[in-house]
């Protein structure tokens, strides 16, 4: 079963210089691609000059993460796609456990490895950690990361389990499943499009898994860090869009109303901390969502699974009951 490692690049020469050599060194059985989102720097010339075995796909524009991969992946022939951020350090033998799982379990459509923090390698990283879930109101969290609390890796998640979503920082997916799902929703541009993809896969009966034997280290925030109000805007807007598309019938209106209240509380927290740009980013996100609500609802599939992983409120558990670790939620 052939794997294609596809790295999406936008003006990322420095990241390619730092991380691409290890991808090549530890991915002998895979084909490596760099999909370029119309970069203005000389990153592609650098790859061509220094890594001639890497295949280049040049997109016509910077359509963000979602459109960038949608534009590039039709040119990739391998059976398994690995969508790899350019700020990921891979480790020796990282692909073998993934390949084994895909070969052994046909219903496994999506896989995420263990994602640790490149800057603090003893701890999990924000984007994905040890596998993603959502709460009853659609707020994402991970084993090893709840909001901004990151756990130390003490082998507590050295397992292979079914998860609800896999991180877009390092996401493996079968080519035919990506095709069945019509790829990412390009209206998302960036952030949470992978959760939407995994939710749509879940509604079609596919499974996502976390495989701890495969380990990578993620820098995080290399393109857009958490201090940027645009990231706040995209996260809040896209989360609401994802709910409109994927929630089971009957839950959409009450949960969207609940999110209006909860997101308002989050906005007040930003005001208290004098983060006015983030406050207005949440307001902007909600207005933009309501403007495209009908469009999102029209994207709903005929089948929405009545049960999904969201059973509790992660906001209540974290901020009211003080539960900071995934194990405390069980």
Report the pLDDT value the prediction gives residue 276, as an integer from 0 to 100: 92
Q: Is the pLDDT of residue 308 over 70?
A: no
Comparing 33 with 136, the larger pLDDT belongs to 33
- Distance, CA of 43 to CA of 259 (rounded, Å): 41
- Average pLDDT over the chain reads 93
Surface-to-core class of residue 314, CB atoms within 10 Å of its CB (0-12 exposed, 13-18 middle, 19+ buried): buried
pLDDT class for 109, splitting at 50, 70, 90? very high
Instruction: Determine the average pLDDT of the residues in 236-258.
Output: 90
137: three-class secondary structure by DSSP:
coil
Q: Is the pLDDT of residue 238 over 60?
A: yes
Comparing 304 with 49, the larger pLDDT belongs to 49
- Distance, CA of 186 to CA of 211 (rounded, Å): 28
Q: Is the pLDDT of residue 226 over 80?
A: no
| C-alpha dihedral sign at 128, 130, 131, 135 | negative
Report the pLDDT value the prediction gives residue 146, as an integer from 0 to 100: 94
Q: Is the pLDDT of residue 224 over 60?
A: no
Distances, alpha carbon 111 to alpha carbons 106, 207, 279, in Å: 12, 9, 35
pLDDT digits (tens, 9 = 90+) for 39-48: 999 999 999 9
Report the pLDDT value the prediction gives residue 98, as an integer from 0 to 100: 98
Instruction: Determine the average pLDDT of the residues in 67-84.
Output: 97
Cβ contacts of 262-268, under 8 Å, gap ≥ 24? 262/137, 262/315, 263/236, 266/236
Range list of β-strands (E), the chain:
3-9, 30-36, 55-58, 80-84, 88-90, 108-117, 132-134, 140-142, 145-146, 149-150, 160-163, 170-174, 207-218
pLDDT digits (tens, 9 = 90+) for 183-208: 999 998 888 999 999 999 999 999 99
Q: Regarding the domain with residue range 1-86, which homologous superfamily does it belong to in the CATH classification?
A: Spore Coat Polysaccharide Biosynthesis Protein SpsA; Chain A (3.90.550.10)
Instruction: Determine the average pLDDT of the residues in 154-165.
Output: 97
Surface-to-core class of residue 28, CB atoms within 10 Å of its CB (0-12 exposed, 13-18 middle, 19+ buried): exposed
pLDDT class for 128, splitting at 50, 70, 90? very high
Q: Is the pLDDT of residue 80 over 60?
A: yes
Cα–chain-centroid distance for residue 50? 29
Q: Where are the domains of the chain?
A: 1-86, 229-329
**Range with lowest mean pLDDT among 18-27, 83-92, 199-208:** 199-208
- Distance, CA of 203 to CA of 205 (rounded, Å): 6
Task: Provide the terminal-to-terminal Cα distance of the chain, rounded to the nearest Å.
Answer: 36
Of 184, 277, 290, 295, the closest CA to residue 233 belongs to 277
Q: Is the pLDDT of residue 223 over 70?
A: no
Share of the chain above pLDDT 70, in %: 96
The encoded tokens of residue 9 equal: 């690049």
Instruction: Determine the average pLDDT of the residues in 284-313.
Output: 84
- Distance, CA of 195 to CA of 168 (rounded, Å): 8
Question: In sequence order, what are the beta bridge partners of 83?
Answer: 6, 171
pLDDT class for 97, splitting at 50, 70, 90? very high
Instruction: Determine the average pLDDT of the residues in 101-117.
Output: 97
Spell out the SS3 assignment of 148-206. Answer: CEECECCCCCCCEEEECECCCCEEEEEHHHHHHCCCCCHHHCCCCHHHHHHHHHHHCCC
Of 111, 132, 105, the closest CA to residue 178 belongs to 111
Report the pLDDT value the prediction gives residue 148, as an integer from 0 to 100: 86
Instruction: Determine the average pLDDT of the residues in 211-229.
Output: 81
């Amino acid at each position: 079963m052939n794997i294609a490692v596809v790295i999406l690049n936008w003006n990322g020469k420095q990241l390619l210089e730092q991380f691409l050599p290890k991808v090549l060194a530890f991915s002998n059985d895979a084909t490596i691609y760099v999909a370029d989102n119309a970069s203005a720097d000389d990153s592609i010339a650098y790859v061509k000059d220094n890594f001639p075995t890497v295949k280049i796909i040049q997109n016509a524009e910077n359509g963000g993460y979602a459109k960038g991969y949608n534009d590039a992946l039709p040119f990739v022939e391998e059976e398994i796609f690995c969508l790899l951020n350019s700020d990921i350090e891979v480790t020796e033998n990282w692909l073998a456990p993934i390949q084994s799982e895909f070969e052994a379990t046909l219903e496994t459509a999506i896989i995420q490895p263990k994602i640790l923090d490149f800057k603090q390698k003893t701890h999990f990283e924000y984007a994905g950690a040890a596998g993603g879930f959502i709460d009853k109101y659609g707020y994402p969290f991970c084993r090893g990361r709840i909001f901004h609390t990151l756990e130390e890796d003490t082998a507590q998640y050295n397992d292979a389990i079914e998860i609800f979503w896999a991180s877009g920082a390092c996401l493996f997916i079968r080519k035919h499943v990506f095709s069945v799902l019509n790829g990412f929703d390009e209206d998302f541009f960036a952030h949470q499009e992978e959760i939407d993809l995994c939710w749509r896969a879940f509604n079609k009966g596919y499974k996502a898994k976390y495989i701890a034997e495969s380990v990578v280290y993620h820098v995080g925030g290399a393109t857009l860090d958490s201090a940027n109000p645009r990231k706040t805007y995209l996260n809040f807007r896209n989360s609401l869009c994802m709910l409109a598309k994927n929630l089971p019938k009957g839950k959409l209106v009450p949960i969207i109303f609940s999110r209006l209240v909860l997101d308002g509380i989050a906005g007040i927290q930003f005001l208290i901390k004098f983060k006015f740009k983030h406050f207005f980013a949440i307001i902007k996100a909600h207005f933009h969502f309501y403007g495209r609500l009908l469009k999102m609802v029209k994207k709903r599939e005929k089948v929405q699974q009545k049960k999904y992983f969201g059973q509790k409120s992660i906001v209540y558990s974290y901020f009211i009951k003080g539960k900071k670790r995934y194990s405390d939620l069980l």
